Amino acid sequence: MGIRYIKEPGLIDPVMIAAWPGIGNIGLIALDTLRRSLRAEQMAHIEPYEFFYPRKVIIRGGELVELDFPASDFFYHRNGRSDLILFIGEEQPAEGGGVYATGSMAYGMANLVLDVAEKYACRRIYTSGAAVSPIHHTARSRAWAVPNSPNLIAEFKSYDNTVLMSDIEGRGGGGNIAGLNGLLLGIARRRGIDAVCIMGEIPVYLQGFPFPYPKGSKSVLEVLSAALDMWIDMEVIDEMARQSESELTRLYEKLPDEIKQQLDRLKESTVAAAESEGLITEDDKKKILEDIDKFFKHDGGGEQH
Amino acid sequence: MSGEEAIRLSGSPDMEGSVLIVAWAEDASSLAERTADYLIQSLGCREFGEILPEGFFPMGGVNVVDDVARFPQSKLYVSDSKGLVIFKSSIPRMGWHRFLTSLLDVSEQDCRVKEIYTVGAMISSAAHTVPRLLISIVNNKEIKAALEPYNVVGDNDYETPPGQKPTLSSYLAWLAGRRGIPAVNLWVPVPYYLVPIDDPRSVKRLIYFFNSKYDLGVDFTALDAVIAEQNNKIAGLFEKSPEIKNMVRRLEVGEGLDGEESEQLAREIAEALK
């Protein structure tokens, strides 16, 4: 068991980009949008059996006709310069049943993804996910970049709308990247492959909701466009972001005034303003999250679920 | 760890073309376990192996049920004379593919299994007095046709609803199909108010099927005695409580009960069958 190749295309100086589900499905939506716009073709998949329990059975006339597992697919796109391998995982293999990969299965899957990267001599790997941030949903999401080597810092500092962990107030350059987005960086380093995780910001108050957040995905695509020196069609992601913001604004209007006032303070939140007074404190953040959770569970907003 | 390492056998059975019955623990009214236990006892099956728990169950302690510490078990039994293999197991919590592959390996290589059945319960709103249905899900058309003479309902359409997962029995049938082994998931709808207790009629429905199809020569005397005892206790409750009797009558004609009535029925039946 392991990787099954459908095709083994010849690729020039390829780069791999990988994504799994996570908060707001930011990485997954970014990569799926890219895959569709490039019309990338499937080249391989990871056999699911060691990693996943089946997610769906289809029975017709008393006969079991299909058992469906989460897919972990590799796609490729040739651009004649620096080709792309895209990896899209529909689930993270989690031993404890959580959303994020854990344990030996996570390590096994990360290594299989990197086996493909090594086979094709990928010069760099990008993973993508969400950065939970004290921003307002009307604000532009930034992209947080976390490289697995200090040599990459200068490059990512130079990109528009991109920040490093050390740029985020209170983090001191530290933090944690949950699941395979993080694990892949670490294992890639062990194999001597450069890797960077690009995380699009999602408002802190949306982190627990099952909504996609395409604004965060767009910020990931913008960094990838710059880093790959490649034009990416943003029309689809822009439309998704518009729809998402419109839905969120509709929902926002239903919030009690007290919560809205708290959240409105996030509109002031920027990197430069982060050290100013009057922004949201950790206590404020906790209270907002509790209030919003209470609101969605008990007081309204049910139509969105 | 390979599939071979997951299994410990104490002597392989000597058989050609056997039938495997798989019973997962913890289903409604413990139907699968009770069915397996009755077959094991009445056919004098001997234990011949097990799937070891490591890698399939969390080793963070033990569960205590009815005052006793329980540890997961996955044991194989055989009746050499009847060509029957029974696998009685707790439901693994992880490593499902390796677990089921290990079971299929021993079934194919050591027992020459030609057909696989899983047995289990569904929860029903029907009355306990209604004859038990036997519902099948198969992994190929040939075995579906072979079930036709046995009064098995086998024409259902189903898709796993969002947020739920397929059963382990479906997973096993699918894996068996990939190896070309015919497999059947047999389900018996158990009246909801017997789910926490026992439903010997459902046990009998399953065993009757296996007895008819494979000429096992099962003695039903003990099972019939359990059914009679349950009938008597429920009849006693009906005498004391016409209200409960009326609720069961309403279920018999397909009338639903409201939430409070359903709870009262389940509570009083449980009390009567203590």
Please tell me what DSSP assigns to residue B254.
T
Per-residue pLDDT band for A294 (boundaries 50, 70, 90) equals low
Select the residue of B97, B139, B155 nearest A64 (Cβ to Cβ).
Answer: B139
Residue of chain B with shortest Cα separation from A70:
B165
Asked if the structure places residue A247 within a domain, the reply is no
Encode pLDDT of B201-213 as tens digits: 999 999 999 999 9
Rounded to a whole number of angstroms, the distance between the first and last alpha carbons of chain A is 38
- Cα A190 to Cα A110, A148, A243: the distances in Å are 12, 10, 41
Q: Which domains does chain B have, with CATH numbers?
A: 3-219 (3.40.50.10900), 225-272 (no CATH)
Q: CB A60 to CB B139 under 8 A?
A: no
Q: Is the domain of A76 the same as that of A38? A: yes
The Cα A49–Cα B101 span in angstroms is 10
Q: Is the domain of A53 the same as that of A197? A: yes
Asked if the structure places residue A157 within a domain, the reply is yes
At residue B210, the pLDDT reads 98
Q: Is the domain of A39 the same as that of A99? A: yes
Q: Is the domain of A80 the same as that of A214? A: yes
Q: CB B96 to CB A55 under 8 A?
A: no
Rounded to a whole number of angstroms, the distance between the first and last alpha carbons of chain B is 45
Q: Is the domain of A95 the same as that of A192? A: yes
Asked if the structure places residue A241 within a domain, the reply is no
Q: Mean pLDDT in each 10-residue stretch from start to end of chain B (274 residues)?
A: 71 84 94 97 95 89 81 94 95 93 94 96 93 96 95 95 94 97 97 93 97 96 96 93 93 90 93 88
Asked if the structure places residue A83 within a domain, the reply is yes
φ/ψ of residue A202, rounded to 5: -130, 135
CATH code for the domain in which residue A150 is found: 3.40.50.10900
CA dihedral B251, B255, B256, B261 (to 10 degrees): -60
Nearest to B38, CA basis, from B231, B233, B225:
B225
- Residue that is last in its domain, among A200, A233, A266: A233
Q: Is the domain of A188 the same as that of A259? A: no
Asked if the structure places residue A141 within a domain, the reply is yes
Encode pLDDT of B61-91 as tens digits: 878 877 888 899 999 999 999 999 999 999 9
Residue with tokens 């997961």: B72
Encode pLDDT of A170-227 as tens digits: 666 677 787 899 899 999 999 999 999 999 999 988 888 888 999 999 999 999 999 9
Q: Is the domain of A19 the same as that of A155? A: yes
At residue A80, the pLDDT reads 85
Q: CB A53 to CB B137 under 8 A?
A: no
Q: Is the domain of A291 the same as that of A165? A: no
The structure tokens listed for A257 are 């005034």
User: Which of B54, B174, B187 to mutate to probe the A interface, most A CBs <10 Å?
Assistant: B174
- Cα A261 to Cα A254, A257, A276, A277: the distances in Å are 13, 6, 18, 16
Select the residue of B94, B171, B185 nearest A67 (Cβ to Cβ).
Answer: B171
The Cα A17–Cα A30 span in angstroms is 10
Residue of chain B with shortest Cα separation from A47:
B97
Please tell me what DSSP assigns to residue B124.
E
Q: CB B138 to CB A63 under 8 A?
A: yes
Residue numbers in A near B137 (CB within 8 A): 59, 62-64
Specify the pairing of strand B158-159 against strand A56-60: antiparallel
Q: CB B160 to CB A64 under 8 A?
A: no
Q: CB A53 to CB B171 under 8 A?
A: yes
Encode pLDDT of A92-137 as tens digits: 887 666 666 667 888 999 999 999 999 999 999 999 999 998 888 9
Assign B204 to helix, strand or coil: helix
Assign B36 to helix, strand or coil: helix
Q: Is the domain of A212 the same as that of A152? A: yes
Q: Is the domain of A282 the same as that of A171? A: no
Residue numbers in A near B185 (CB within 8 A): 64
pTM for the full predicted model: 0.84
Domain count, chain A: 2
Per-residue pLDDT band for A293 (boundaries 50, 70, 90) equals low
Asked if the structure places residue A249 within a domain, the reply is no
Q: Is the domain of A228 the same as that of A296? A: no
Residue-wise over A115-138: b if at least 16 C-beta within 10 A, else e?
Answer: ebbeebebebbbbbbbbbbbbbbe
Question: Do the Cβ atoms of A116 and A47 come closer than 8 Å?
Answer: no
Nearest to A72, CA basis, from A97, A99, A52:
A52
Q: Is the domain of A82 the same as that of A228? A: yes
Q: Average pLDDT over chain A, rounded to whole?
A: 86
Question: What 3 state SS string does chain A have?
Answer: CCEEECCCCCCCCCEEEEECCCHHHHHHHHHHHHHHHHCCEEEEEECCCCCCCCCEEEEECCEEEEEECCCEEEEEECCCCCCEEEEEECCCCECCCCCCCEHHHHHHHHHHHHHHHHHCCCCEEEEEEEEEECCCCCCCCCEEEEECCHHHHHHHHCCCCEECHHHCCCCCCCCCCCCHHHHHHHHHHHCCCEEEEEEEEEEHHHCCCCCCCHHHHHHHHHHHHHHHCCCCCCHHHHHHHHHHHHHHHHHHHCCCHHHHHHHHHHHHCCCHHHHCCCCCCHHHHHHHHHHHHHHHHHHCCHHHC
- Residue that is last in its domain, among A181, A198, A233: A233
Structural domain harbouring A16: 3-233
The Cα B33–Cα B27 span in angstroms is 8
- Other beta carbons less than 10 A from residue A112's beta carbon: 21
Q: A186 Cβ partners below 8 Å, 6+ apart?
A: A148
At residue A1, the pLDDT reads 67
Determine the length of chain A: 305
